[in-house]
Structure 1
């Protein structure tokens, strides 16, 4: 178990940031229920700042791995699309050095925020490392 929150994702630069911070594992009353991680999307720009709570299942983490692979291969991604919780979309710019990141909260606040951040090759090593940290801190057997 982690003693402190771990950022699963950090896309930041040029004054903008989008972070998905995992804060812990939700206690489950039903021992048969799938484990759930708690966290929040944090968006910070010179113009707008906000957060929205997120709950992640083991399948979400597996899909994040696939999304990272797709993004690393140069494709745009839509992560958690079709879920009730917040969704993340990343569109790569033509130059490959920047991306548009959209966090959509279609169920609670009905708010969508899009920011532009740099996306350098070294970001991917960090992103995969962050995912490993989450798996190590909170082993999810689901």
Structure 2
């Protein structure tokens, strides 16, 4: 992994933020298991602050790419729904250039939090760049 963590997802503004920071590459369970990227969701508002450890699999990076494409097209998205770990839902209000982002932990704490953040067009370029940096940790043969 790079010397510093990579932020795969960074939605922030108006005092609120939702970040998915990738901190390293790990093997889960046993030596035969595929590598995953370890990380944590960080959510902060003036009212609530929390973090949730998670692991991101290569297929979830592909799904994040699809979610970004849909979000850029003005659609609401669900990422990691029904999977192990935290789920993320983004409801876009294109007229206001804002989004409601919900992080839901259905496996451990059974907690969810919804944060409203600005979602300007320039955010998408940065989001795709963040995704490209995350992909650098898997060789093309593994993608």
TM range (shorter): over 0.9
Q: Which residue of 1 aligns with 2:138?
A: 139
Q: Which residue of 1 aligns with 2:87?
A: 87
Root-mean-square deviation over aligned CA pairs: 1.4
Q: Which residue of 2 aligns with 1:128?
A: 128
Q: Which residue of 2 aligns with 1:6?
A: 6
Pairing 1:26–2:26 present: yes
- What secondary structure is seen at the aligned counterpart in 1 of 2:109? coil
Kindly tell me the number of residue pairs found equivalent between the two proteins: 141
Give me the whole-angstrom Cα distance separating, in 2, the residues matched to 1:117 and 1:4.
25
Give me the whole-angstrom Cα distance separating, in 1, the residues matched to 2:67 and 2:96.
16
- What secondary structure is seen at the aligned counterpart in 2 of 1:61? helix
Higher relative contact order (CA 8 A, sep 6+): 1
Q: Offset of 1:32 from its aligned partner? A: 3.2
Q: Offset of 1:96 from its aligned partner? A: 4.7
- What secondary structure is seen at the aligned counterpart in 2 of 1:134? helix
- What secondary structure is seen at the aligned counterpart in 1 of 2:35? coil
- What secondary structure is seen at the aligned counterpart in 2 of 1:2? coil
Q: Which residue of 2 aligns with 1:42?
A: 42
Give me the whole-angstrom Cα distance separating, in 2, the residues matched to 1:139 and 1:7.
16
What is the TM-score with the length of structure 1 in the denominator? 0.94
What is the TM-score with the length of structure 2 in the denominator? 0.93
Gaps of 5+ in 2: none
Give me the whole-angstrom Cα distance separating, in 1, the residues matched to 2:112 and 2:30.
33
Give me the whole-angstrom Cα distance separating, in 1, the residues matched to 2:13 and 2:97.
11
Q: Which residue of 1 aligns with 2:73?
A: 73
Deviates more, 1:56-65 or 1:88-97: 88-97
Give me the whole-angstrom Cα distance separating, in 2, the residues matched to 1:100 and 1:28.
32
CA separation of 1:31/1:116 partners in 2, compared to 1, >3 Å: closer, same or farther? Answer: same
CA separation of 1:45/1:74 partners in 2, compared to 1, >3 Å: closer, same or farther? Answer: same
Q: Offset of 1:135 from its aligned partner? A: 1.0
